[in-house]
Amino acid sequence: MIVQLRICVPAELSALVVESCTAQTGAAEVAVHRGASVLPPGDVVWAHVARESVEELLEKLHALKVEELGSVAITTPELMLSQRADRAEAAAPGDGADAMVWDEVTRQTGEDSRLTWSYLAFLVLATQLAAIGIVTDSTIA
């Protein structure tokens, strides 16, 4: 599976980002739009990378502090017709179905694990039902 990264960076960081993307095993395509980013002022780098290589590339981008100076957006195209993409997936180590993008996992778990009144009401109800079962010495049948 191919993943699309859109990286907005200041112009002075653009060359390092492009170098990191093109050197990455599993990179299928890299495009640079110089001066296309208005906020932050700079360049936009697009990269199509095999999913199993994304985590390693993100580590390189974190080391360059891209998320502090710009941004990284990750999307998954529904359809990608490209022999270059097929070769990139074959060259990438591992299997795309097993690949984890940990930034994606932490973002989703952070958003899905908020303390809400509905959750607290459910927790109180479950605790009361458990207490009733213990007090009445009820068996689970």
| Domains of the chain (ranges, CATH numbers) | 2-112 (3.30.70.120)
Q: What is d(CA 94, CA 111) in angstroms, rounded to the nearest whole number?
A: 28
Reported as a single tens digit per residue, the pLDDT across 7-30 is 999 999 999 999 999 999 999 999
More confident residue, 95 or 41: 41
pLDDT exceeds 60 at position 102:
no
Reported as a single tens digit per residue, the pLDDT across 41-89 is 999 999 999 989 989 999 999 999 999 999 999 998 998 888 988 888 8
Indicate the SS3 state at residue 56. Answer: helix
Q: Which stretches of the chain are DSSP H helices?
A: 11-23, 51-63, 66-69, 83-91, 102-112, 117-135
DSSP labels for 82-109?
Answer: -HHHHHHHHHSSS-TTT---HHHHHHHH
pLDDT at 96: 59
Q: Of all helices (H) and strands (E), which one includes residue 137?
A: none
The answer to whether the CB of 35 falls within 8 A of the CB of 43 is yes
User: 47 Cβ partners below 8 Å, 6+ apart?
Assistant: 4, 5, 7, 21, 24, 27, 29, 30, 31, 57
